[in-house]
Amino acid sequence: MKLYKLVKPWMIAGTLAIFVSACATTQEEYIEEDGAPVDDQSTSTAIVDDGSSGADATGLDDGDTVEEIIIADDSTMTALDRLEKTDGPLSSRIIYFELDSAKLTSESIEILEVHGNFIAGNGEVAVRLEGHADERGSREYNIALGDRRAQSVRRVLLFQGASVDQVETVSYGEEQPAVTDQTEEAWSLNRRVELIYTVN
Protein backbone atom coordinates (compact mmCIF):
# COMPACT_ATOMS: atom_id res chain seq x y z
CA MET A 1 0.00 0.00 0.00
CA LYS A 2 2.87 2.35 0.87
CA LEU A 3 4.55 1.50 -2.47
CA TYR A 4 1.36 2.46 -4.34
CA LYS A 5 1.24 5.82 -2.52
CA LEU A 6 4.87 6.50 -3.50
CA VAL A 7 4.43 5.46 -7.16
CA LYS A 8 1.33 7.55 -7.73
CA PRO A 9 3.05 10.96 -7.23
CA TRP A 10 5.98 9.85 -9.42
CA MET A 11 3.58 8.80 -12.23
CA ILE A 12 1.82 12.13 -12.08
CA ALA A 13 5.16 13.99 -12.10
CA GLY A 14 6.44 11.90 -15.04
CA THR A 15 3.31 12.45 -17.11
CA LEU A 16 3.46 16.17 -16.39
CA ALA A 17 7.14 16.28 -17.47
CA ILE A 18 6.32 14.53 -20.80
CA PHE A 19 3.45 16.96 -21.44
CA VAL A 20 5.64 20.01 -20.74
CA SER A 21 8.35 18.61 -23.02
CA ALA A 22 5.87 18.06 -25.83
CA CYS A 23 4.55 21.61 -25.48
CA ALA A 24 8.08 23.00 -25.61
CA THR A 25 8.80 21.07 -28.81
CA THR A 26 5.61 22.35 -30.41
CA GLN A 27 6.47 25.89 -29.38
CA GLU A 28 9.93 25.62 -31.00
CA GLU A 29 8.31 24.78 -34.33
CA TYR A 30 6.53 28.15 -34.30
CA ILE A 31 9.63 30.25 -33.63
CA GLU A 32 11.34 31.88 -36.61
CA GLU A 33 15.10 32.05 -37.00
CA ASP A 34 15.34 35.46 -35.32
CA GLY A 35 13.73 34.05 -32.17
CA ALA A 36 10.40 35.86 -32.51
CA PRO A 37 7.38 33.62 -31.99
CA VAL A 38 4.74 33.52 -34.68
CA ASP A 39 1.14 32.42 -34.43
CA ASP A 40 -0.75 30.09 -36.76
CA GLN A 41 -2.22 32.87 -38.89
CA SER A 42 1.10 34.59 -39.61
CA THR A 43 2.70 31.21 -40.31
CA SER A 44 0.26 30.47 -43.11
CA THR A 45 0.77 33.99 -44.44
CA ALA A 46 4.53 33.46 -44.44
CA ILE A 47 4.13 30.26 -46.46
CA VAL A 48 2.09 31.95 -49.18
CA ASP A 49 3.78 35.36 -49.15
CA ASP A 50 7.46 34.56 -49.73
CA GLY A 51 8.29 37.78 -51.56
CA SER A 52 6.78 36.60 -54.83
CA SER A 53 3.55 37.63 -56.47
CA GLY A 54 0.30 35.76 -56.07
CA ALA A 55 0.64 34.45 -59.62
CA ASP A 56 3.99 32.86 -58.73
CA ALA A 57 2.51 31.26 -55.62
CA THR A 58 -0.03 29.43 -57.77
CA GLY A 59 2.61 28.24 -60.24
CA LEU A 60 1.58 30.70 -62.94
CA ASP A 61 4.05 33.03 -64.54
CA ASP A 62 3.28 36.30 -66.27
CA GLY A 63 2.74 34.51 -69.60
CA ASP A 64 0.09 32.25 -68.11
CA THR A 65 -1.66 35.25 -66.60
CA VAL A 66 -1.78 36.91 -70.00
CA GLU A 67 -3.13 33.69 -71.52
CA GLU A 68 -5.94 33.64 -68.95
CA ILE A 69 -6.86 37.19 -69.93
CA ILE A 70 -6.90 36.24 -73.62
CA ILE A 71 -9.16 33.26 -72.94
CA ALA A 72 -11.53 35.46 -70.95
CA ASP A 73 -11.63 37.95 -73.81
CA ASP A 74 -12.43 35.18 -76.33
CA SER A 75 -15.45 34.16 -74.29
CA THR A 76 -16.89 37.67 -74.54
CA MET A 77 -16.17 38.05 -78.26
CA THR A 78 -18.89 37.64 -80.84
CA ALA A 79 -18.67 34.90 -83.45
CA LEU A 80 -17.78 37.50 -86.09
CA ASP A 81 -14.99 38.90 -83.90
CA ARG A 82 -13.52 35.43 -83.46
CA LEU A 83 -13.66 34.77 -87.20
CA GLU A 84 -11.90 38.05 -87.95
CA LYS A 85 -8.92 37.18 -85.73
CA THR A 86 -5.93 36.36 -87.91
CA ASP A 87 -3.93 34.46 -85.31
CA GLY A 88 -6.52 32.27 -83.63
CA PRO A 89 -7.28 28.58 -84.18
CA LEU A 90 -10.09 29.51 -86.57
CA SER A 91 -7.70 31.31 -88.92
CA SER A 92 -6.76 28.03 -90.67
CA ARG A 93 -9.56 27.64 -93.21
CA ILE A 94 -8.01 25.60 -96.01
CA ILE A 95 -7.72 21.82 -95.84
CA TYR A 96 -5.26 20.21 -98.27
CA PHE A 97 -5.37 16.72 -99.78
CA GLU A 98 -3.04 14.24 -101.39
CA LEU A 99 -3.22 13.46 -105.11
CA ASP A 100 -6.47 11.74 -106.13
CA SER A 101 -7.58 11.48 -102.49
CA ALA A 102 -10.36 12.75 -100.25
CA LYS A 103 -8.74 11.35 -97.10
CA LEU A 104 -8.11 13.80 -94.25
CA THR A 105 -4.79 13.91 -92.42
CA SER A 106 -4.68 13.86 -88.62
CA GLU A 107 -3.56 17.51 -88.68
CA SER A 108 -6.57 18.43 -90.83
CA ILE A 109 -8.92 16.61 -88.48
CA GLU A 110 -7.57 18.59 -85.51
CA ILE A 111 -8.20 21.85 -87.36
CA LEU A 112 -11.71 20.76 -88.32
CA GLU A 113 -12.56 19.72 -84.76
CA VAL A 114 -11.94 23.33 -83.68
CA HIS A 115 -14.14 24.62 -86.49
CA GLY A 116 -16.85 22.06 -85.74
CA ASN A 117 -16.99 23.04 -82.06
CA PHE A 118 -17.13 26.71 -83.02
CA ILE A 119 -19.98 26.17 -85.48
CA ALA A 120 -21.89 23.98 -83.00
CA GLY A 121 -21.61 26.67 -80.33
CA ASN A 122 -22.76 29.53 -82.58
CA GLY A 123 -26.13 28.98 -84.21
CA GLU A 124 -25.84 32.20 -86.24
CA VAL A 125 -22.80 30.87 -88.09
CA ALA A 126 -22.94 29.00 -91.41
CA VAL A 127 -20.10 27.64 -93.53
CA ARG A 128 -19.81 26.75 -97.21
CA LEU A 129 -17.28 24.04 -98.00
CA GLU A 130 -15.78 24.62 -101.43
CA GLY A 131 -14.09 21.54 -102.87
CA HIS A 132 -11.27 21.89 -105.42
CA ALA A 133 -8.96 19.69 -107.46
CA ASP A 134 -5.88 20.27 -109.57
CA GLU A 135 -6.14 20.41 -113.37
CA ARG A 136 -5.12 16.82 -114.05
CA GLY A 137 -7.96 14.49 -114.91
CA SER A 138 -11.22 15.18 -116.71
CA ARG A 139 -13.52 18.02 -115.70
CA GLU A 140 -16.22 15.60 -114.56
CA TYR A 141 -13.78 13.55 -112.51
CA ASN A 142 -12.40 16.65 -110.78
CA ILE A 143 -15.90 17.91 -109.95
CA ALA A 144 -16.65 14.57 -108.29
CA LEU A 145 -13.29 14.58 -106.47
CA GLY A 146 -13.87 18.11 -105.16
CA ASP A 147 -17.28 17.00 -103.89
CA ARG A 148 -15.81 13.96 -102.11
CA ARG A 149 -13.29 16.21 -100.41
CA ALA A 150 -15.98 18.66 -99.28
CA GLN A 151 -18.08 15.76 -97.95
CA SER A 152 -15.10 14.47 -95.93
CA VAL A 153 -14.78 17.85 -94.25
CA ARG A 154 -18.54 18.07 -93.72
CA ARG A 155 -18.64 14.73 -91.88
CA VAL A 156 -16.08 15.92 -89.31
CA LEU A 157 -17.93 19.20 -88.71
CA LEU A 158 -21.25 17.40 -88.22
CA PHE A 159 -19.62 14.88 -85.91
CA GLN A 160 -18.42 17.78 -83.74
CA GLY A 161 -21.99 19.04 -83.37
CA ALA A 162 -22.57 21.43 -86.27
CA SER A 163 -26.12 21.15 -87.61
CA VAL A 164 -26.96 20.12 -91.19
CA ASP A 165 -28.48 23.58 -91.77
CA GLN A 166 -25.18 25.27 -90.96
CA VAL A 167 -23.00 23.35 -93.42
CA GLU A 168 -23.25 23.56 -97.24
CA THR A 169 -20.99 21.93 -99.80
CA VAL A 170 -20.10 22.84 -103.37
CA SER A 171 -17.45 21.52 -105.77
CA TYR A 172 -15.60 23.65 -108.29
CA GLY A 173 -13.31 20.88 -109.45
CA GLU A 174 -10.39 22.39 -111.36
CA GLU A 175 -12.25 25.60 -112.31
CA GLN A 176 -10.90 27.89 -109.54
CA PRO A 177 -7.22 27.09 -108.98
CA ALA A 178 -5.40 28.84 -106.13
CA VAL A 179 -2.20 28.75 -108.21
CA THR A 180 -2.09 28.58 -112.01
CA ASP A 181 1.42 27.16 -112.43
CA GLN A 182 1.78 23.61 -113.73
CA THR A 183 4.15 22.34 -111.04
CA GLU A 184 3.83 19.77 -108.29
CA GLU A 185 3.82 22.52 -105.67
CA ALA A 186 1.05 24.42 -107.47
CA TRP A 187 -1.05 21.28 -107.86
CA SER A 188 -0.68 20.47 -104.15
CA LEU A 189 -2.07 23.93 -103.29
CA ASN A 190 -5.04 23.40 -105.61
CA ARG A 191 -6.11 20.09 -103.99
CA ARG A 192 -8.12 21.68 -101.21
CA VAL A 193 -11.37 22.49 -99.43
CA GLU A 194 -11.93 26.07 -98.35
CA LEU A 195 -14.18 26.97 -95.42
CA ILE A 196 -16.15 30.12 -96.26
CA TYR A 197 -18.04 31.52 -93.27
CA THR A 198 -21.11 33.71 -93.06
CA VAL A 199 -22.67 35.10 -89.89
CA ASN A 200 -26.39 35.87 -89.88
The answer to whether residue 27 scores a pLDDT higher than 70 is: no
pLDDT tens-digit profile of 145-195? 999 999 999 999 999 999 999 999 999 999 999 999 999 999 999 999 999
d(CA 23, CA 56): 35
The answer to whether residue 49 scores a pLDDT higher than 50 is: no
Asked if 11 and 89 sit in the same domain, the reply is: no
pLDDT tens-digit profile of 77-89? 899 999 998 888 8
CA end-to-end span of the chain, whole Å? 100
Split into its structural domains, the chain has a count of 2
State the virtual CA torsion across 84, 86, 90, 93 in degrees, nearest 10.
100
CB 199 within 8 A of CB 80: yes
Please give the helix or strand (H or E) that residue 113 lies within, else none: helix 106-120
State pTM to two decimals. Answer: 0.63
- The reply to whether 19 falls in a domain is yes
**Residue 180 to residues 96, 188, 190, Cα–Cα distance (Å):** 16, 11, 9
Domain extent at residue 190: 72-199
pLDDT tens-digit profile of 137-146? 999 999 999 9
Asked if 28 and 86 sit in the same domain, the reply is: no
Give a three-class secondary structure readout of 80-112: HHHHHCCCCHHHCCEEECCCCCCCCCHHHHHHH
If one compares 73 and 160, the residue with the highest pLDDT of the two is 160
Average pLDDT score over the chain: 78
Asked if 190 and 116 sit in the same domain, the reply is: yes
Asked if 78 and 37 sit in the same domain, the reply is: no
d(CA 99, CA 41): 69
d(CA 105, CA 123): 27
